[in-house]
Amino acid sequence: MNIRKPICDSHVHSHFSFDASPSASPDAICERAKALGMTHIAITDHNDVNVLFDHSFPPYPEKEAAQSIAEAKKRHDGSVCLAYGVELGQAHQYPEAARAFLDVFDPDVVVGSLHSLRGEPDFYSLGKEKYTDDVFPAIWDRYLDEYLEMLGFDGIDIAAHLTYPIRYARKHGCSADISASIPKIENIFRTIVKKDICLEVNTSGFRQGMGGPLPDFHLLELYRDCGGKLVTLGSDAHAQKDIGADFDLCVRKLCRMGFEHIAFVFRKDIMLTRTDT
Ligand SMILES: [Zn+2]
Ligand SMILES: [Zn+2]
């Protein structure tokens, strides 16, 4: 089975994300996309809204990013379509601040994330005592409740890396058995379908030792069975070399699972690329 054309990457970080490679400029990202034969790419830097209030990470340089990406857009016009996006984290926790950002900067695409629960640090830096088989189920339950709440924030185009905490739970040796929470996950999938937004297949899981994307293929089957058709692919690259990583394998698998298209969102328009030949 051949893929007709390279699938577009809907989730890439530039050097305007504090944790990305300093060399990941918008120009470097466009050049990498072109080298891979991609026609469209989205730069989606971190804007975790809680950071404005708890200062847990360096703030998102919103003006600088918007201006630099707008300039790169013009420079590469005609060779690659660059979407000025944002990975909006925890929008539901500070909805007014999130709304104010969207009203002023009006990004082409908004990836909605949940990196931290209310009053807690990022799952990345949550203490290892939280990742035990005794404690983690309650954290996971809160995660699913807040993820649903996050989806209620109006303005999200793509639901990002569902199952993010499992990445860290497994690293700490927790079994992270989620079988008891399938009804809650189904509810999340049905909400995504009802809101007509896309579910992200985040391929960083391959690079982070999870052996598959976030969410994994079993959950993607559940999404399909809940009526889900719209999926985007996001490498979550923090360095140019990871753009489009593991897309071929994912597309083949998604095609076999019955997903006919991969979506790319640009100003509410959804561009679809077929997964078969
Ligand atoms: Zn993220
Ligand atoms: Zn990301």
pLDDT in tens, 48-62: 999 999 999 999 999
Question: How much is the pLDDT for 7?
Answer: 84
**Ligand in closest contact with the CA of 165:** 1
> Does 1 reside within a domain?
no
For residue 108, the CA-to-ligand 2 centroid distance in Å is 16
**Ligand in closest contact with the CA of 238:** 2
What average pLDDT does range 197-207 have in this prediction?
97
Tokens of 196: 């007509």
**Ligand in closest contact with the CA of 122:** 1
**Ligand in closest contact with the CA of 85:** 2
8 class by beta-carbon count within 10 Å (0-12 exposed, 13-18 middle, 19+ buried): buried
> Does 141 reside within a domain?
yes
For residue 214, the CA-to-ligand 2 centroid distance in Å is 12
What's the first-to-final CA gap in the chain, in angstroms? Answer: 7
Tokens of 199: 């579910």
pLDDT in tens, 227-248: 999 999 999 999 999 999 999 9
CATH assignment at residue 39: 3.20.20.140
> Does 2 reside within a domain?
no
For residue 1, the CA-to-ligand 1 centroid distance in Å is 31
For residue 210, the CA-to-ligand 1 centroid distance in Å is 16
User: For the whole model, what pTM was predicted?
Assistant: 0.96
Question: How much is the pLDDT for 123?
Answer: 96
Q: Which residues are in the CB-under-5-Å shell of ion ligand 1? A: 113
> Does 3 reside within a domain?
no
| Rounded distance between C-alpha atoms, residue 17 and residue 15, angstroms | 5
> Does 23 reside within a domain?
yes
Question: How much is the pLDDT for 64?
Answer: 98
7 class by beta-carbon count within 10 Å (0-12 exposed, 13-18 middle, 19+ buried): buried
For residue 2, the CA-to-ligand 1 centroid distance in Å is 30
Is the predicted pLDDT of residue 134 greater than 60, yes or no? yes
| Rounded distance between C-alpha atoms, residue 58 and residue 274, angstroms | 39
**Ligand in closest contact with the CA of 150:** 1
Question: How much is the pLDDT for 277?
Answer: 64
Does the N-terminal peptide bond of residue 58 adopt cis geometry, omega within 30 degrees of 0? no
**Ligand in closest contact with the CA of 235:** 2
Q: How many domains does the chain have?
A: 1
Phi, psi of 87, deg, nearest 5 = -100, 100
For residue 123, the CA-to-ligand 1 centroid distance in Å is 10
Domain of residue 250 covers 9-274
For residue 5, the CA-to-ligand 1 centroid distance in Å is 26
